[in-house]
Structure 1
Amino acid sequence: MKRTHFAVVAAGLGLALSLSACGSDDGSDTAGDNDAKIEGKIGVILPDTESSVRWESADRPALKAAFEAAGVEHTIQNAEGDAEKMAQIADSMIADGVTVLAIVNLDSASGAAIQEKAKAQGVATIDYDRLTLEGSAEYYVSFDNTVVGELQGQGLADCLGEKDANIIYLNGSPTDNNATLFSAGAHSVLDKITSYKKVGEQAVPEWDNEEAAVIFQQLYTQADGKVDGVLAANDGLGGAVISILEGNGLAGKVPVTGQDATVEGLQNILAGTQCMSIYKSATLEANALAEAAIALASGKDAETTGTTKDSESGREVPSILLEPKAITKDNVGDVIDDGGQKLADVCTADFADACKAAGLS
Structure 2
Amino acid sequence: MKNIPKMSLTSLFLIIVMIVTAGCSSTEKASSTNHSKLITDDSKPYVGFLLDTLKDERWYKDKALFEEEIKKLGGQVKTLAANGLDEVQIKQAQLLIEEGVDVLVVVPHDAVISAEIVEIAHEAGVKVVSYDRLIKNADVDYYISFDNEKVGEIQATEILKKVPNGNFAYIGGAESDNNAILFRQGAMKVLQPLIDNGTVKLVHDQYTDDWNPDIAKENMKTALSKNGNAINAVIAANDGTAGGVIESLAGVGLAGTVPVSGQDAELEGVRRVVQGLQTMTVYKPINLLAVKSAEMAIMVAKGEEVKTDKQINNGKIDVPAVFLDPIAITNENVRDTVIKDGYLNEADVFK
TM class by shorter chain equals: 0.7 to 0.9
Give the 5 Å matches for 1:291-306. Answer: 291-306=295-310
DSSP 3-state at the match of 2:54: coil
Task: Name which of 269, 274, 298 aligns with 1:270.
Answer: 274
Is the aligned partner of 1:173 residue 2:178?
A: no
Is the aligned partner of 1:81 residue 2:88?
A: no
Match for residue 343 of structure 2?
340
Task: Name which of 305, 318, 321 aligns with 1:319.
Answer: 321
In structure 2, relative to structure 1, the CA distance for the partners of 1:90 and 1:271 (3 Å cut) is: same
Task: Name which of 200, 225, 231 aligns with 1:227.
Answer: 231
Write the deviation string for residues 311-351 of structure 1: whole angstroms up to 9, x where unpaired. x22x1100011000011101111111112212232222xxx
Match for residue 45 of structure 2?
40
Amino acid at match of 1:205: D
Higher relative CO (CA 8 A, sep ≥ 6), structure 1 or 2?
1
Amino acid at match of 1:197: K
Is the aligned partner of 1:134 residue 2:144?
A: no
DSSP 3-state at the match of 1:94: helix
Amino acid at match of 1:263: L
Match for residue 11 of structure 2?
none
Runs of 4+, deviation exceeding 6 Å:
none
**TM-score, reference length from structure 2:** 0.85
The answer as to whether partners of 1:31 and 1:75 remain within 8 angstroms in 2 is no
Shift of 1:173: 0.5
Structure 1 residue ranges without an equivalent (≥5): 1-29, 349-361
Match for residue 99 of structure 2?
96
Q: CA RMSD in A?
A: 1.6
**TM-score, reference length from structure 1:** 0.83
Shift of 1:38: 6.5
Is the aligned partner of 1:205 residue 2:209?
A: yes
In structure 2, relative to structure 1, the CA distance for the partners of 1:274 and 1:114 (3 Å cut) is: same
Identical residues among aligned pairs (%): 35
The answer as to whether partners of 1:234 and 1:259 remain within 8 angstroms in 2 is yes
Query: For structure 1, which segment, 78-87 or 250-259, has the greater mean C-alpha deviation from structure 2 after superposition?
Result: 78-87
Shift of 1:31: 9.3
Match for residue 190 of structure 1?
191
Aligned partners of 1:132, 1:38: CA distance in 2, in Å?
A: 30
The answer as to whether partners of 1:31 and 1:73 remain within 8 angstroms in 2 is no
Shift of 1:110: 2.1
Aligned partners of 2:104, 2:54: CA distance in 1, in Å?
A: 20
Aligned partners of 1:303, 1:326: CA distance in 2, in Å?
A: 28
Shift of 1:305: 3.0
Is the aligned partner of 1:152 residue 2:158?
A: no
DSSP 3-state at the match of 2:113: helix
Task: Name which of 96, 112, 115 aligns with 2:115.
Answer: 112
Query: For structure 1, which segment, 181-190 or 101-110, has the greater mean C-alpha deviation from structure 2 after superposition?
Result: 101-110
Match for residue 143 of structure 1?
146
Aligned partners of 2:43, 2:187: CA distance in 1, in Å?
A: 42
Aligned partners of 2:50, 2:302: CA distance in 1, in Å?
A: 20
The answer as to whether partners of 1:39 and 1:298 remain within 8 angstroms in 2 is no
Match for residue 328 of structure 1?
330
Is the aligned partner of 1:69 residue 2:72?
A: yes
Is the aligned partner of 1:237 residue 2:269?
A: no
The answer as to whether partners of 1:108 and 1:135 remain within 8 angstroms in 2 is no
Write the deviation string for residues 212-241 of structure 1: whole angstroms up to 9, x where unpaired. 111110121111111000000000000000
Aligned partners of 2:303, 2:185: CA distance in 1, in Å?
A: 36
Match for residue 27 of structure 1?
none
Shift of 1:99: 1.1
Shift of 1:39: 3.6
Query: For structure 1, which segment, 337-346 or 222-231, has the greater mean C-alpha deviation from structure 2 after superposition?
Result: 337-346
DSSP 3-state at the match of 1:110: coil
Aligned partners of 2:257, 2:280: CA distance in 1, in Å?
A: 14
DSSP 3-state at the match of 2:91: helix
Is the aligned partner of 1:122 residue 2:125?
A: yes
Aligned length: 310
Write the deviation string for residues 48-70 of structure 1: whole angstroms up to 9, x where unpaired. 133x32011x1011111111111
Shift of 1:156: 0.8
Aligned partners of 2:238, 2:141: CA distance in 1, in Å?
A: 28
Shift of 1:140: 0.1
Aligned partners of 1:245, 1:212: CA distance in 2, in Å?
A: 12
Amino acid at match of 1:279: Y
Aligned partners of 1:136, 1:39: CA distance in 2, in Å?
A: 26
Aligned partners of 1:196, 1:203: CA distance in 2, in Å?
A: 19
The answer as to whether partners of 1:153 and 1:189 remain within 8 angstroms in 2 is yes
Shift of 1:108: 2.1
In structure 2, relative to structure 1, the CA distance for the partners of 1:338 and 1:38 (3 Å cut) is: farther
DSSP 3-state at the match of 2:333: helix
Shift of 1:306: 1.2
Is the aligned partner of 1:247 residue 2:251?
A: yes
Amino acid at match of 2:82: A
Match for residue 293 of structure 2?
289
Shift of 1:76: 1.2
